[in-house]
């Protein structure tokens, strides 16, 4: 195989990698729900991405033969970045199906048909949004409960939140319009 043909095949495989991750994820999800139901749902796509990485790593020396060390090194670095970015997107896509407000709003309308705006909050309101997240944050250790009161813990989510607020300001979003 010529170097151009190998590189083209490599690009096509990388571009299709989210589909491979989806298939691995579906298999793992169904197997783990039967064999190990305690595994957190959000960990499964991470395991699927990790399972796909060795396949991609093995592909580089097959497509770029010995003697093309320079091309091989760049292909490995390039593949790593593209696979990581597309996997990050896939993980977010799955997380959206799990916990995004927008998708939950769409689910409510998908199941309920046409709904008066005034009634919408009785199907999915701020109470659901806040309490679902509070419980999830407690599960992952970002929040702790003592005597019925909740406290921020850890700090990584809070730190990321500050970075997001900072970038939002760069883009011209007004912190005053945020719910704080």
Partner 1 sequence: MNASAFAAGAALFLAGLAVHVVAWRVRRPRHQALGLLAYFMLPWAAFCVWARARGAGWTPFELAAAGLLDFSLTCAYVQTYPAFQGFSPSFVVVLLLARAPGGLTREELLASVDEGVMLTGRLQDMVDSRLIAERDGLLELTPSGRALVSFFVWMRRVMGLPLGTG
Helix axes 43-63, 3-15, angle to 10 degrees: 170
Residue in 19, 43, 58, 92 binding partner 1, rule: CB under 8 A:
92
- Four-residue CA torsion sign, 80, 82, 87, 92: positive
- Binding residues with partner 1: total (CB under 8 A): 92
Instruction: Pick out residues in 102-121 that bind partner 1 (CB under 8 A).
Output: 102-107, 109-110, 113-118, 120-121
We find the least distance from the C-beta atom of residue 54 to partner 1, in angstroms, to be 20
CB 136 within 8 A of CB 127: no
Q: Which are the contacts of 87, defined by CB distance < 8 A and separation ≥ 6? A: 17, 18, 21, 49, 52
Q: Which is nearer to partner 1, 50 or 164 (CB)?
A: 164
Q: Which is nearer to partner 1, 55 or 132 (CB)?
A: 132
Judged by CB under 8 A, does residue 151 bind partner 1? Answer: yes
Q: Which is nearer to partner 1, 27 or 50 (CB)?
A: 27
C-alpha distances in angstroms, 55 versus 17, 60, 81, 85? 10, 9, 15, 17
What's CA 139's distance to the chain center, in Å? 18
Judged by CB under 8 A, does residue 56 bind partner 1? Answer: no
Judged by CB under 8 A, does residue 180 bind partner 1? Answer: yes
**E strand or H helix at 150, and its extent?**
strand 149-152
**E strand or H helix at 67, and its extent?**
none
What character string, x for contact with partner 1 (CB under 8 A) and - otherwise, covers 6-45? -xx-xx--xx------x--xx--xx--x-------x--x-
Judged by CB under 8 A, does residue 61 bind partner 1? Answer: no
Judged by CB under 8 A, does residue 78 bind partner 1? Answer: yes
Q: Which is nearer to partner 1, 12 or 50 (CB)?
A: 12
Judged by CB under 8 A, does residue 139 bind partner 1? Answer: no
Residue with tokens 């396949």: 55
DSSP per residue over 161-175, as a string? HHHHHHHHHHTT--G
Judged by CB under 8 A, does residue 2 bind partner 1? Answer: no
């Amino acid at each position: 195989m010529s170097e151009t043909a190998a590189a083209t095949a490599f690009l096509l495989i990388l571009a299709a990698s989210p589909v491979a991750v989806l298939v691995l994820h579906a298999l793992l999800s169904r197997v783990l729900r039967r064999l190990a139901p305690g595994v957190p749902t959000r960990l499964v796509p991470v395991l699927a991405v990790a399972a796909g990485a060795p396949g991609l790593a093995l592909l580089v020396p097959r497509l770029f033969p010995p003697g093309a060390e320079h091309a091989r090194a760049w292909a490995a670095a390039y593949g790593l970045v593209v696979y990581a970015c597309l996997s990050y997107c896939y993980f977010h896509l799955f997380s959206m199906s799990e916990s995004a407000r927008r998708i939950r709003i769409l689910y409510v309308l998908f199941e309920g048909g046409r709904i008066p705006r005034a009634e919408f909050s009785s199907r999915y309101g701020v109470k659901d949004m806040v309490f679902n997240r509070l419980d999830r944050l407690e599960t992952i250790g970002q929040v702790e409960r003592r005597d019925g009161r909740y406290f921020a813990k850890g700090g990584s989510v809070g730190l990321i939140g500050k970075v997001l607020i900072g970038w939002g300001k760069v883009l011209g979003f007004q912190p005053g319009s945020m719910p704080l």
